[in-house]
A and B are shown apart, each in its own frame.
Chain A
Amino acid sequence: MLPRDAQDSLDTIHRLQDRSIDEYVDHGFARRYVLPSALMVFVAFASFDLPGPWNTFAIALGLGLAAMVCVSWQRQARVHRRPTGLEQLYYLGAGIVFLVACVAFQVAAAVAAVKLGMPAHHTVAAAATALMVVATAYPARKALRAVARHAVAEDADR
């Protein structure tokens, strides 16, 4: 085994490991999952403006959509990976950022409703939150790719 051949094999290993990570990340952030997720967020938060029993119906619709997206995502994934410590931190951080943004949009819309008389302020906040989900999908995908690649490299060094 020549050192040059060994280096070529190592380069191939790293390239293919990155390919698996890319498939896992790209599948998770595919448009066919991001857009229904944004719609689900919009329906669930906008339901607060609806009178009963329509608000319950809208929440059930949002949860049903979420379940369908999850099942489809799981079934169609070509690469399945259990998140490691670093990736779990990423998901936790993303969840916290999402919740903070939700609350911030709801508070801003409530203030606008009181001061400017804006109608259906939950719907406006829901639309802003859904747009944020779509707008942050690309940077979130880049961040997850970097985190997952780092986790794989760390795992290999162990």
Chain B
Amino acid sequence: MDPDFDEFLHVPARLSILALLAPADRVDFGFLRDTIGTSDSALSKHLSALVSAGYVAMSKDRDRGVRRTHVTLTPQGRRAFRRHAAALERIVATSRLADG
């Protein structure tokens, strides 16, 4: 297995969260939930795991009395995501070379 392959990140919901966060500075909790198609509690569970690993950070604010949660990819999370994506690309490239 490629040394950069991250088993923790490869859980589909976690990988989806990081893929949605990667092009952005800050993403709304509701956008993550709606796009991934999961529940508030399931998303919160995955986000807590990612926060504990230091991959994402969360912040809360109020907009006209409505509480909003924002999620950000940390520099450590960005590096881990890039390494993992590169590992996936190497796995695919190696297989193509072997086939070719």
Contacts and interface: CB of A to CB of B under 8 A. Distances in A.
Contacts of B23: 17, 20-21, 24, 81, 148, 152, 155
B51 interface: no
B22 A12 contact: no
SS of A interface (majority): helix
Interface string A72-98: 000101111110000000000000000
Contacts of A152: 22-23
Contact-residue bracket for chain B: 20 to 34
B22 A80 contact: no
Interface in B64-95: 70, 82, 85, 88-89, 91-92, 94-95
A7 interface: yes
Contacts of A80: 24-27, 70
Contact-residue bracket for chain A: 20 to 34
B24 A13 contact: no
Interface of B: 1, 5, 10, 12, 15-16, 19-28, 30-31, 35, 63, 70, 82, 85, 88-89, 91-92, 94-96
18 contacts: A3-B91, A3-B95, A3-B96, A7-B88, A10-B85, A16-B35, A17-B22, A19-B20, A21-B23, A23-B31, A78-B31, A79-B24, A80-B26, A80-B27, A81-B24, A82-B25, A156-B82, A156-B85
